[in-house]
């Protein structure tokens, strides 16, 4: 949504860019908070700190580093290499993250399985299979929002 607003803003209107920037802050907060909540639920108790550390490293460290390198290449190949295109080259630039967002959303929708409520019930964070009730993995998007992070 944000990237589509940025692509529209290349037409000379400022309001889509302003809304896109506001959505960036909101979506970033949701990503970080819900990611941390999910890890608290999915990771065994003895690995929660390490899971949070890896999440922060990937999203804030390696993700920003790789994103800046890839973003620079995309910029060089769309905007810099086509100066005659004017604002049109910026529209092409914003189509790349739109495509990435669509593909990752499809992959997430197909493959994501939310852990059941029993994930962290024991003090050790582990249960034996014979003690754990069978539960079908859920996908909140595919299942119509029936399950959500933090609720079973």
* pLDDT tens per residue, range 12-53: 778 888 888 888 888 888 888 988 998 998 899 999 999 999
Can you give the pLDDT at residue 144? Answer: 55
The band of 55, judged by pLDDT with boundaries at 50, 70 and 90, is very high
Q: Give pLDDT tens digits for 109-137.
A: 999 887 666 545 444 444 444 454 555 55
Residue 135 lies in a domain: no
Exposed/middle/buried for 25, CB within 10 Å: 0-12, 13-18, 19+?
exposed
Structural domains of the chain, count: 1
Domain assignment of residue 102, given as a range:
2-111
Residue 148 lies in a domain: no
Rounded to the nearest 5 degrees, what angle is found at the Cα of 7, between the Cα atoms of 65 and 29? 50
Can you give the pLDDT at residue 143? Answer: 57
Residue 67 lies in a domain: yes
Could you tell me which residue, 129 or 10, shows the higher pLDDT? 10
Residue 24 lies in a domain: yes
Residue 145 lies in a domain: no
Regarding pTM above 0.75, the answer is no
Residue 118 lies in a domain: no
By 3-state DSSP, what share of the chain in percent is helix, strand and coil, each rounded to 5?
65, 5, 30
Residue 136 lies in a domain: no
Residue 125 near residue 46 (C-beta atoms within 8 A): yes
H helix or E strand, kind and range, residue 117: none
């Amino acid at each position: 949504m944000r990237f589509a607003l940025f692509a529209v803003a290349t037409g000379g209107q400022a309001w889509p860019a302003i809304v896109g920037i506001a959505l960036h802050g909101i979506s970033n907060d949701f990503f970080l908070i819900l990611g941390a909540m999910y890890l608290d639920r999915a990771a065994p108790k003895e690995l929660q700190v390490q899971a949070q550390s890896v999440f922060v490293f990937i999203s804030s460290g390696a993700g920003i580093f790789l994103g800046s390198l890839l973003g620079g290449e995309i910029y060089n190949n769309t905007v810099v290499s086509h100066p005659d295109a004017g604002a049109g080259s910026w529209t092409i630039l914003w189509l790349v993250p739109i495509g990435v967002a669509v593909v990752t959303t499809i992959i997430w929708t197909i493959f994501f399985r939310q852990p059941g409520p029993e994930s962290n019930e024991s003090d050790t964070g582990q249960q034996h299979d014979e003690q754990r009730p069978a539960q079908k993995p859920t996908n909140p998007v595919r299942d119509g929002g029936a399950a959500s992070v933090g609720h079973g």
